[in-house]
Chain A
Amino acid sequence: MRNIDQGALMKLNKILKNTFLVLFACLVLSACATSKKSTGQMQGDVYTGTDTVEYLASGVPDRVFFATNESVLTTASRETLRKQAAWLRKNSDITIVLEGHADERGTREYNLALGERRANAAKDYLMTYGISSNRISVLSYGKERPVDSGSNPLAWSKNRRSVTVKAN
């Protein structure tokens, strides 16, 4: 009786082990898949993808992204803003609003200030490329208007942004 039981147990163990192996392999694969996906769209924690980006004109992206708690412009952001400045110089009747945003991982009031600081970082850069300050207004939304409603690092990286919007 006991022997038979043990035999059955051994078999069961083997089956379990195999399923575990398969499960484990699945996990590893999916983990690879997700981490690849996120590194592909983020550098550090700055968003580098194009999912949410709209265009002011052909080849002129409308937004730049920031690292957590930061308002420093990345190399990519500066490139985007130079394109915007060139486009604005060509279209001198256009005025813009720079809308500064933060992710949901900060207190509301601090994020309002942070959004304002980010939009002004973009404004300062546009001004050094010859865009007059009276063509630019700044509006901070803090964390009030996320583009991605997710609660994960990728969603937050899309939400830390300054968006250039045509005002006229």
Chain B
Amino acid sequence: MRNLLILFLIFIVPTKALGLIEVDITRGNLNPLPIAVSPLSIDEESKKSFEKTLKKKDIGSEISKVIEKNLKTSGLFNPLDKNAFLQAPDIAHLKPRFEDWNLIKAQALITGKVKNVDDKLRVEFRLWDVLAGKEMMALAFTTVPNNWRRVGHIITDKVYERLTGEKGYFDTRIIYVAEEGPKTKRIKKLAIMDQDGANNKFLTLGNELVLTPRFNPTSQMVTYLSYFRNLPRVYLLDIETGIQEVVGDFPGMTFAPRFSPDGKKIIMSFAKDGNSDIYTMDLENRIVEKITNHPSIDTSPSYSPDGKFICFNSDRSGYQQIYVMKSDGSNVKRISFGNGLYGTPVWSPRGDLIAFTKLHKGKFYIGVMRTDGSGERLLTENFYQEAPSWSPNGRVLIFYRETKTDDKGEGFSAKLWSIDLTGYNERLVDTPTDASDPSWSSLLSN
């Protein structure tokens, strides 16, 4: 029987070897790829020194846990139980015994080694195709020890890219609004965390209401709405330095800010005398341009990734709908024609889709449509949810969801959720407090 199995393997290997394992991410993945993440091996000396500086017993296995969690939440991979692993991590990293890994049904294997080199963290890893019995990738990084979680994220990005053919989204951060307190007197703070929920940090104290933070796609800058001194204005915040400045100081309310794809402009709404229009401000020379000029509400603008078009929300037809125009404001076209109201259009970083919130018959949906409005697809339905933000590879959306309160007005909560473009793999994103208005950063490394 065993001979037969090996024979079968030998027979199948040559054909498989032509195109090593691949993961199709364009469809809902109901059979995630079984992958073994062997704990990264570490020599005793390095282990001890990192235990002192990082307060982690075995930093090698901690990094592998980061990788495993990332792979699992992607929904495309099924990390196998470590207890079933037969081969020791250090030996597996040198030369895996593929029969052993095959036996536990692993199709891919990640191995690695961690070492202290002049008080720096040196990590090397290899990705193996178990069925073909081949190495698919080998890379090494050296960085400051505190970056150990990022090393796990970067390895996941590399593995994801090698197996799916598309860039990953793991070495990224989420900026969002942390919420506490009763619904009628909500306290809101800007907060930032790694994509997997680690390293959560509050950026404002909660003295004033803050809303809708959005990342600059090219730097660690954020634009958001603050009610500082009861004047709702668009602000700019440098996350590294903590320096804030007001950018939308017009005689009225500025809101709904987003960066242009090159990061050089902010596009936003300006409301005055009961009318909201869309404006841009060049961050270098502070030149302001009026883009829409219509007595209706024009808001929630978002650029196409090439900067040539803008999608936005307007009620010029009588109700909230999605429109697309050229970036100079010409050629305005309505693109949403389904039943219900449409809001919060966001252009995908891949350029092909626009994500939106839809309200229909008392339910809220997150969906996507092509940029001409065709091919509308609703991904998730709930009592209340809105404000999708794209992962940098345009495969995952993060948004927030609020619960219905009971008869006494209690039981309110707001949480972040993510969902695949396919509509599968919906997940709660853990945050220490209630949370809303998430915005996904670009890849940090690149």
Contacts and interface: CB of A to CB of B under 8 A. Distances in A.
B184 A117 contact: no
Interface string B204-232: 00000101100000000000010000101
Contacts of A105: 359, 362, 384
Contact of A106 (B273, B274, B276, B359): B359
Contacts of B404: 151
B269 A113 contact: yes
Contacts of A23: none
Interface in B240-282: 252-253, 255-256, 269, 271, 273-276
Interface string B307-345: 000000101000110000000000000000000000110
A: interface residue count bin: 20 to 34
Contacts of B256: 109, 112
A121 B271 CA distance: 13
B197 interface: no
A22 interface: no
A117 B297 contact: yes
Nearest to A152: B407
Nearest to B298: A113
Contact of B253 (A71, A110, A140, A149): A140
A144 interface: yes
Nearest to A116: B271
Most chain A C-beta atoms within 10 Å of own C-beta, residue among B212, B225, B405: B405
B: interface residue count bin: 35 or more
A150 interface: yes
B299 interface: yes
B387 interface: yes
B27 interface: no
Contacts of A104: 384, 402
B409 interface: yes
A160 to B, nearest CB: 15
A151 B275 CA distance: 28
B402 A107 contact: no
B412 interface: yes
A109 B182 contact: no
Interface in A10-65: none
B131 to A, nearest CB: 48
B22 interface: no
A95 interface: no
B186 interface: yes
B194 interface: no
Most chain B C-beta atoms within 10 Å of own C-beta, residue among A105, A110, A145, A152: A110
Contact of A113 (B276, B384, B405): B276
A79 interface: no
B384 A109 contact: no
16 contacts: A69-B319, A105-B384, A106-B359, A107-B320, A108-B212, A108-B437, A109-B255, A109-B313, A110-B313, A112-B255, A113-B276, A117-B274, A117-B275, A124-B274, A149-B184, A150-B409
Interface of B: 182-186, 209, 211-212, 225, 230, 232, 252-253, 255-256, 269, 271, 273-276, 297, 299-300, 313, 315, 319-320, 343-344, 357, 359, 362, 383-384, 386-387, 402, 404-405, 407, 409-410, 412, 437
